Structure 1
Amino acid sequence: MPLWIPITIAAAFLQNLRSTWQKQLAGDLSATAATYVRFSFGLPVACVYLWGLNRLGGIPLPSPNAMFFIYCAIGGFTQIIGTFLLVALFAYRNFAVGTTYSKTETVQAALFGIIVLGDHPSAGAVAAILVSLAGVIAISMAKSHLTVMNFVRSLTERPTLMGIGTGAGFGISAVCYRAASLSFGRDDFLMPAAFTLVTVLIIQTVAMTIWLGLREPSQLAGTMRAWRVSSLVGLAGALASMGWFTAMTIENAAYVRALGQIELVFTFASSHFLFKEKTVRLEFIGIALVICGLLLLLFLR
C-alpha cells in the first residue's frame, strides 16, 4: 500500500478530532478566533516536529527559494479566505446551498493541479473524484433538507458563489502546499513537508494575529483564557496538517483531498452508531457513493 494512503486516513481522523474539540470553543469564541486557534496553537507543535526531524533525525533543512515563499503565501492566504467565506456563509438563510457547493474542493484541486503543476489525474481518478463528490453533495443535501430543484436554481445566488469560492480557496491552498514542498527538488518528503507547514503556519498566525488585534482584540485574549481546549485543537490540528502536507508532497493533491473525504465516513459512523442519531436514506446513499468513490480512487488512480 502506498505510504500516502494511511497518512491521509490518519490525517482525516485527526482533523475530525480537531473539529470536535474546536466546536467546544464556539460558545466562548467567535468563529474567526476559533479558526485562529488551529494556526497559533498548532505552530509550536509543528516547530517541535521540524526541530526533531533536523536535530534528532539528522535530516538537513532545505534551502528555500523565492517560489517557495510565493507558494506558501498564496496557499496560506487562500486557505484563510476559504475559511472566512465558509464562516460568512452561515449569515445567509440559504447557507446550506453554499456549503454544499464548497464541497467542489476536490474537483477544483484537480483543475488547479493541472494548471500549476501539470498533475494530470487519470481517467479512473477523475471518475472516482466525481463519484465521491456526488456522495458528499447527497450527504449535504440530506442534512440541510435541500431539494434538487433548489440546488439547481441557486446557481446565480451569492451563497452559491461564496461556496464555490470556498472550494477554490481550499483547492488552491492544497495545490500550493504541494508546489511549495516540491520546489526544493529533494527526493525525501518529510522535511520539505514539515518546513512548508511551519512556514505556512507562521504566515497564517501573524496575519490572523494582526487581524484579530485590530478587529476583535477581546477575542484574541479569549483564545488564551481557553488555553486548555485551544491546546488540544492546536495539537490535533498540527498533527492532521503534518499528515496532509506529507501526503500532498508524496501524491497529487486532488487524490489526497479526495481520499480525505473518508472523514465523512468517520463522522457518519460516530453519529449513527455512538450517538444513535437518525439517518435518512439519502445520507446512506451519500455514504455509499463516497465509499465507492474512495475505492475507485485506490484501485483505478
Structure 2
Amino acid sequence: MLWVFLAAVAAPLQVARNAMQRGLVGDAGPWGATLVRFLFGLPFSILIFTVVALLTRDAKPDPSLRFWLGAMVGAIAQVAATGFLLMAMRRSGFAVASVLQQSALPLGALLGWVALGDDLAAHAWSGIALATVGLGVLSWPRRDQMEHGLAGGLLGLAAGAGFAVAFNGYRQAGLALDPAHPIFSATAALVVAQVMQSAVLTGLLAATRPEALRAVATSWRSSLAAGFFGSLASACWFAALALSPAGPVRAVGLIETPIAAAVGHRLFRERPSARQWVGGLLTTLGVLMTTLG
C-alpha cells in the first residue's frame, strides 16, 4: 500500500506547485509558467534520482523502446495538460480548475484498462462513474457565465485528458525500465521526461516568445520554489504509478480538492458556489469508492 502514501503526499505538493505557477502566469504567460515546472524542477529530480540510484545498486535498467515511447508520450501530454490547466485557472478560478483536471481519474482508468490491461473491481468503476458525474456538475457554468465559464470548463477537461495520457505513459515507462525496482524506474523516467520537456519548451519559447523566458528568469526565486515542489510531487506520482494502476492513484490524489479550495479562498479570494460544492462532494464520494476498489 506504499502507493497510497505516495499519492497522498503528492497531492498537497501539487497544490503548492500549482499555486506558485498560477502566480507566474501574468508575466510569463501559461507556457512560460509551464516551463517553470520542468526546468526549475530538473535539478531536484536529478538529485532525487541520484539518491535512489545509490540506494539501489542492484538495479538492472532496460531502456527499451517501450520505455522511451512511454516517457516521450507522457512528457508531451504533461506539457499540454499543464498549459491547459493554467489557462483554465485564469478563466474558472484556481479551485474549480484544480477539480476539473481530475477528469484524469475516469479517463486515466479507461486508458489503463484499454492500453495496459489494468483491472479494477466493480465498485471501483462505480466510484469512477460517480466522480465523473460530480465533475460534470462542477464544470457546468452558470447561465450568466456560459461563454466564459464553458471555455474554462473545456480547458480544465482538456487538462484532465492530458494528465490521463501522461499518467499511463509514465506508468508504462516505469514498468518497462526495471519492474523489480519501481522507485528507481519512476525517478529515472522523471528525469528523462523533464529533460525532454525543458529542452522542447525552452526552444519553442525562445523562437516564439522570448519575453516569456525573460519573465521566468526574472522571477527565479518563485520559479525555483515551484520547481522544487513540482519535482517532489512528480517523484511521488511516478513512484505511485509504478506500483498501482493510474485510476486508483488519481483517486487518492483527489484529496487535493479541499486543499485547492482552501488555497483558492485564501490566496485568490475565490468563493465556490453551492452547485460547485455539490459537484465536489459527488466527486469526493466517487473517489472514496474508487480507492476502496
TM-score by length of 2: 0.85
Counterpart residue number, 2:40: 41
Mark the CA change 1:19 to 1:81 in structure 2 (over 3 Å): closer, same or farther. Answer: closer
Conserved? CA contact 1:78–1:169, under 8 Å: yes
Is 1:244 aligned to residue 237 of structure 2?
yes
Counterpart residue number, 2:71: 72
Counterpart residue number, 1:196: 189
* Secondary structure class of the residue paired with 1:137: helix
Mark the CA change 1:239 to 1:59 in structure 2 (over 3 Å): closer, same or farther. Answer: farther
The offset of 1:186, in angstroms, is 2.3
Match of 1:214 among 207, 217, 236: 207
The offset of 1:172, in angstroms, is 1.2
Counterpart residue number, 1:291: 284
Is 1:232 aligned to residue 232 of structure 2?
no
Counterpart residue number, 1:114: 113
Conserved? CA contact 1:54–1:61, under 8 Å: no
1:277-298 deviation per Cα after TM superposition (whole angstroms, max 9, x unaligned): 6443223322322332222123
In structure 2, runs of 5+ residues without a counterpart are none
Counterpart residue number, 1:171: 164
Give, in whole Å, the separation in 2 of the partners of 1:48 and 1:91.
33
Give, in whole Å, the separation in 2 of the partners of 1:135 and 1:217.
40
Mark the CA change 1:278 to 1:176 in structure 2 (over 3 Å): closer, same or farther. Answer: closer
Conserved? CA contact 2:88–2:153, under 8 Å: no
The offset of 1:200, in angstroms, is 0.6
Give, in whole Å, the separation in 2 of the partners of 1:74 and 1:65.
14
TM-score by length of 1: 0.83
Mark the CA change 1:206 to 1:214 in structure 2 (over 3 Å): closer, same or farther. Answer: same
Find the structure with the greater CA-based Rg.
1
Mark the CA change 1:65 to 1:57 in structure 2 (over 3 Å): closer, same or farther. Answer: closer
The offset of 1:34, in angstroms, is 0.5
1:170-208 deviation per Cα after TM superposition (whole angstroms, max 9, x unaligned): 211110100000013422211010001111111111111
1:63-142 equivalences under 5 Å are 63-86=62-85, 103-141=102-140
Give, in whole Å, the separation in 1 of the partners of 2:130 and 2:223.
36
**Which range is displaced more, 49-58 or 10-19?**
49-58
Identity of matched residues, %: 30
Mark the CA change 1:74 to 1:121 in structure 2 (over 3 Å): closer, same or farther. Answer: same
Conserved? CA contact 1:13–1:263, under 8 Å: yes
The offset of 1:74, in angstroms, is 1.2
Mark the CA change 1:214 to 1:273 in structure 2 (over 3 Å): closer, same or farther. Answer: closer
* Secondary structure class of the residue paired with 2:27: coil
Conserved? CA contact 2:178–2:185, under 8 Å: no
Counterpart residue number, 2:26: 27
Mark the CA change 1:48 to 1:232 in structure 2 (over 3 Å): closer, same or farther. Answer: same
Conserved? CA contact 1:82–1:165, under 8 Å: yes
Tell me the amino acid that sits aligned with residue 263 of structure 1.
E
Mark the CA change 1:25 to 1:89 in structure 2 (over 3 Å): closer, same or farther. Answer: closer
In structure 1, runs of 5+ residues without a counterpart are none
1:104-125 deviation per Cα after TM superposition (whole angstroms, max 9, x unaligned): 3222212211222111222111
Conserved? CA contact 2:124–2:289, under 8 Å: yes
**Which range is displaced more, 284-293 or 255-264?**
284-293
